[in-house]
Amino acid sequence: MKFRTLALAAAIASVGLSSATFSTAAQAQAQEQFFPVLVYRTGAYAANGNPWANGYVDYLKLVNAQGGVNGVKISFEECEFGYATDRGVECYERLKGKGATVFQPLSTGVTFALTDKAPVDKIPLITAGYGRSESQDGSVFTWNFPLLGTYWVGADVAIQHVAKQLGGLDKLKGKKIALVYHDSPFGKEPIPVLQERAKMHGFDLQLLPVAHPGVEQKATWLQIRRDRPDHVLLWGWGVMNSTAIKEAQATGYPREKMLGIWWAGAEPDVKDVGAGAKGYSALALQHGAEPNSKVVKDMLAMVHDKGQGTGPKDEVGSVLYMRGLISAMLGVEGVRQAQERYGKGKVMTGEQVRWGLENLNLDQGKLDGMGFAGVMRPVQTSCTDHMGSSWVRVHTWDGSKWAFSSDWYQADDKVLRPMVLEAASKYATEKGVQRRTAEQCAQ
Amino acid sequence: MFYRENGQFKTSYAADQQIFTIAQDKWFVWGLIAFAALAVPMLADEYMFRAILIPFLVLSLAALGVNLLVGYCGQITLGAGAFMAIGAYAAYNFMVRIDGMPLILAMLLGGAAAAAFGILFGIPSLRVRGLYLAVATLAAQFLCDWAFLRIGWFTNYSSSGSVSVAKLEVLGWVVDSPVEKYLFCLAFVVVFAVIAKNLTRAAIGRQWMAIRDMDVAAEVIGIRPMFAKLSAFAVSSFFVGVAGALWGFVYLGSWEPAAFSVDRSFQLLFMVIIGGMGSIMGSFFGAAFIVVLPIFLNQFLPFLGSLVGISVSTAGVSHAEFIIFGSLIIFFLIVEPHGLARLWSIAKQKLRLWPFPH
């Protein structure tokens, strides 16, 4: 009897599975530009993953509300992977079969895993503000687009900002700078640039790793209390950031001397600490919290006021929401640019979108027209430069909101470019990839 | 009616010592292998291969290894993830540092490196048992997590700490399409499953089981506990190490130590417990349960919701997946504490009498 019921259950389940796969095959038929959305709304990083995902999806809804990309409507599907690399790869495999336009995994680990798969499947990867730093070199990394900035840009600007506070790059000599980082490819990315800069300016770099997910940092901050570094750079994500700031408060390390990467500079990181985080600064990937920008007003009017909003309304315009929104915008603009060449009003393939992303040219006029005035600066990509822009600002938490506290910085290409080329060439020899020639680039 | 051994007489010792003494069993297993090797490549699509079948096969192999140690020799281990990591990183280093290293040899050497560490971390098993041993093996996990994150040599000084492999090639055959990767894994799994089955039927497997059932009595009848326990650790770690190399090389392609975290160790132990301790078949059931079921739920729940007209949020699906998955584990442990493999053998028992039960 028991066996019969179990067999019955198994049979029902297998019928369900097959019908589920059939139904997904049917969905892919429609003439819509399909955007897969890899998200993490659960797990240790959900507090930061949620606003990003909401901004991303909201922007796609906004584009549809404005009539689509030259009339082509956007469809999308979320896949939850909880910041786990293997589930992220599973999501990629699941969604790529549905005619995916572009993937934005929001996880450096997943980016590393997908970098080898993207050229085979011919789907571009946008990693706006994360991913592999050397993938800026588009002649080797044909399918990767670390638009707006990489961690090497972040590390370079962080040192520039610290130097400016001290009164010049020469003042860095003999100073102690500690890097508190998430012990994963994400946190390790900036180390080569910081080491290079340490050599150039003669400051002492201290590396302090924090294990995933970052709630256990007592030992790290005891070390900071003992060594008293002049500055602390925080390369954290999710709960690690608020924990670090709380620990800084507990050990009495001045928050003014701390500088976070752009993933450690959003509302969820400081809100719980509130006034205790006052004076803490973080890099801003061009934009900060932008509740007064035109695109946010459009979003509220055309999406949220119609009851179509994905997340809570008060989150619209917050830092990570804007990051998701801008990431989606970059993907959509890649499609728009591709349509310029391959036919307006048509659904673009991944290969065509890749061309669009490589020839992206968002000048200030275009950005202002879309409502991004004051939010970001122009982005122009090329075959050799898949990043398109390396402008960074710094914003500071004043106890209740993020406010800009510096002028625009730009990463020093003299330092970064040779490193990018060297790392990209190393990757190319390891993987047997041929660097694209000028003619191949022009295609 | 169909599943009966009546009329199958064994006339030689060789016939009596076969793996599957009943002809139907033998045909079933041959049929299963033929189906997996011939029919599945034609039926399954790329998603099935890359997201479900390959991870299922690799983790089955790892679960098989853990089962040899936990199920057959009775030594609880929480270090399986570490041995997977050792297998993967050792194979990676053999590939990177020795020019012209054949892929399969590198993977087997990765397994051998894991076996060596398995013996090292198996030494405490000579003194401690049960939960204490589990804690001792946990040390292996933390040591490996630390070593692969901190010691640059293991990752060939990769700046991000993530390593990746170039193309896979076996004697001129480039393993790059999903079907080829699947068949590559399948070949490993079939060979290792046969080895495991034979080991457990041989003298060494009987020694392990004697140790598991009562180590004092085993020692009294002349079994050397040190040899039995350490050989179980070595063989188990070898299997797990090869699985780790497959996981890194074939499934992930590029990985970081987090791919072999303590979660992986727990996952493998749960596969063995749910699948059935001391059963080769159970390792496969357990791997299927742990690997496939969450992915199935994740896709099936929104579909189920749309049938009754509810759209479930992404986070909701994820939470529901955990709830249902957790309840199913409890359900199976209550109705069948000996694991899914026991259900399988009950089914076979019933089938012998079917359709005329007493």
Per-residue pLDDT 10s for chain A (443 aa) are 444 555 545 544 554 444 444 444 444 445 889 999 999 998 889 899 999 999 999 999 999 999 999 999 999 999 999 888 888 988 998 898 888 889 999 988 889 888 888 888 899 999 999 988 889 999 999 999 999 999 999 999 999 999 999 998 889 999 999 999 998 888 889 999 999 999 999 999 999 999 888 888 999 999 999 999 999 999 999 899 999 999 999 999 999 999 999 999 999 899 888 788 899 999 998 898 988 999 999 999 999 999 888 889 989 999 999 999 999 999 999 999 999 999 888 999 999 999 999 999 999 999 999 999 889 999 999 988 999 888 999 999 988 889 999 999 999 989 999 999 999 998 888 888 888 888 888 77
Q: Which CATH architecture has domain A32-149+289-380?
A: 3-Layer(aba) Sandwich (3.40)
ipTM of the complex: 0.83
- Does A41 contact B at CB distance below 8 Å? yes
Compare all CA atoms of chain A with the CA of B145 and give the residue at the minimum distance: A211
Tell me, what amino acid is at A20?
A: A
Top pLDDT among B49 and A28 is at B49
- Express as a percent the part of chain B with pLDDT over 70: 99
Partner-chain contact A80 B300, CB within 8 Å:
no
Residue B229: inside a domain: yes
DSSP annotation of A378:
-
Sign of CA dihedral A137, A138, A142, A144: positive
For A213, the closest chain B residue by CA position comes to B258
Distance, in Å, from the CA atom of A52 to the CA atom of A22, rounded to the nearest integer, reads 31
In this prediction, residue B11 carries a pLDDT of: 87
Asked whether the beta carbons of residue B314 and residue A431 sit closer than 8 angstroms, the reply is no
* Strand, helix or coil for residue A111: helix
Answer yes or no: do B162 and A85 touch at CB < 8 A: no
Residue of B nearest to A310 (CA): B313
Q: Give the gap in angstroms from C-alpha A204 to the nearest C-alpha of chain B.
A: 19
- Does the N-terminal peptide bond of residue B178 adopt cis geometry, omega within 30 degrees of 0? no
Count of domains in chain B? 1
Q: Which residues of B touch A212 (CB under 8 A)?
A: 258, 261
> Of A188, A190, A182, A242, nearest to A213 (Cα)?
A182
Q: What is the pLDDT of residues B271-324, one digit of tens each?
A: 999 998 889 999 999 999 988 888 888 888 888 888 888 777 888 888 888 898
How many Cβ atoms are within 10 Å of A314's Cβ, its own excluded?
Answer: 8
Domain membership of residue B151 as a residue range: 21-258
Token pair, residue A6, equals: 């179990």
State residue B155's pLDDT score: 86
Query: What is the mean pLDDT of the segment spanning B16-26?
Result: 84
Does B113 map to a domain?
A: yes
Query: Is the Cα torsion angle B9, B12, B13, B19 positive or negative in sign?
Result: negative
Q: Where are the domains of chain A?
A: 32-149+289-380, 152-284+395-411
Residue with tokens 């070593």: B147
B-side interface with A, Cβ within 8 Å?
A: 45-47, 50-51, 55, 149, 159-162, 164, 166-167, 176, 251-256, 258-259, 261, 295-296, 298-300, 303-304, 313-315, 317-319, 335, 343, 346-347, 350
CA distance A13 to B301: 12
> CA nearest A83 in B: which residue?
B258
CB B265 within 8 A of CB B81: yes
Supply A236's token pair.
């954290």
Say whether A109 and B296 touch across the interface (CB within 8 A).
no
Q: How far is B215 from chain A (nearest CA, A)?
A: 36
Inform me whether the C-beta atom of residue A207 falls under 8 Å from chain B C-beta atoms.
no
Q: Does A432 touch chain B (CB under 8 A)?
A: yes
**CA–CA separation, B181 and B168 (whole Å):** 9
What is residue A17's predicted lDDT score, i.e. its pLDDT?
47
Residue A216: name the closest of A44, A91, A76 by CA. Answer: A44
Torsion of CA B218, B220, B226, B227, to 10 degrees: -70
**Could you give the CA distance from residue A341 to residue A318 in angstroms, rounded to a whole number?**
35
Q: Torsion over CA of A66, A72, A73 and A78, rounded to 10 degrees? A: -120
Total-model pTM: 0.86
Residues 83-142 (A) with a CB less than 8 A from some CB of B: 85-86, 89-90, 93-94, 97, 108-109, 112-113, 115-117, 120, 132
CA B63 centroid distance within chain: 2
**What is the pLDDT of chain B when averaged over all its residues?**
89
Q: How far apart are CA B213 and CA B279, in angstroms?
A: 15
Q: Is the pLDDT of residue B164 over 80?
A: yes
Indicate whether B280 belongs to any domain: no
Is B215 part of a structural domain of the chain?
Answer: yes
Token pair belonging to A198: 């340490």
Which site among A80, A310, A420 would you substitute to test the B interface, given the most B Cβ atoms closer than 10 Å to its Cβ? A80
State the count of interchain CB pairs (< 8 A) between A and B: 108
Chain segment B202-243, per-residue pLDDT in tens: 999 999 999 999 989 999 999 999 999 999 999 999 999 999
Which one of B177, B317, B318 makes the best mutation probe of the A interface by having the most chain A beta carbons within 10 Å?
A: B318
What's the CA gap between A33 and A300, in Å, rounded?
Answer: 24
**Domain assignment of residue B313, yes or no:** no
Cα separation, A164 vs B174, in Å, equals 53
Q: What six digits make up the tokens of A420?
A: 């990018």
Please list the residues that pair with A76 across neighbouring strands: A35
Of B46, B149, B159, nearest to A191 by CB-CB distance is B159
Q: Tell whether B350 is covered by a domain.
A: no
User: Which positions in chain B touch A433 (Cβ < 8 Å)?
Assistant: none
Q: Are A281 and A405 in contact (CB under 8 A)?
A: yes
* Homologous superfamily in CATH for domain A152-284+395-411: Response regulator (3.40.50.2300)
Please give the structure tokens belonging to residue B156: 């060939």
Higher pLDDT, B198 or A430: B198
Q: What is the pLDDT of residue A21?
A: 45
Cα–Cα dist A11/A6, whole Å: 9
Within a domain: B306: no
| pLDDT value of position A24 | 44
B144 contact residues in A (CB cutoff 8 A) = none
User: What are A177's two structure tokens?
Assistant: 């700078």
| Structure token pair of residue B348 | 């076979």
Length, in residues, of chain B: 358
Pair B292, B200: CB distance under 8 Å: no
DSSP helix/strand/coil, A252: coil
pLDDT for position B202 = 92
pLDDT at residue number A283? 93
Instruction: With respect to residue B149, please indicate whether it lies within any of the assigned structural domains.
Output: yes
Contact partners, residue A215, CB within 8 Å, separation at least 6:
A239, A240, A243
Long-range contacts of A427-434 (CB under 8 A, 24+ apart): A427/A134, A427/A140, A427/A141, A428/A140, A430/B164, A430/B166, A431/A116, A431/B164, A431/B166, A431/B167, A432/B166, A432/B167, A433/A140
- Sign for the CA dihedral angle at B63, B69, B73, B77 comes to negative
Q: Give the pair of three-digit tokens for residue B228.
A: 């039995």
What residues of chain A lie within 8 A of the CB of B258, using their CB?
A: 85, 109, 184, 212
Q: How far apart are CA A89 and CA B81, in angstroms?
A: 19
Reading the block at residue B211, the tokens are 């140790």
**CB spacing of B343 vs A6 below 8 angstroms:** yes
CA distances for B21 relative to A388, B15, B125, angstroms: 68, 7, 35
Q: How many CA atoms lie within 13 A of A410 on its CB side?
A: 9
* Within this chain, domains A32-149+289-380 and A152-284+395-411 share the same CATH topology: yes
**Cross-chain Cβ contact A16/B303 below 8 Å:** yes
CA distance B296 to chain A (A): 7
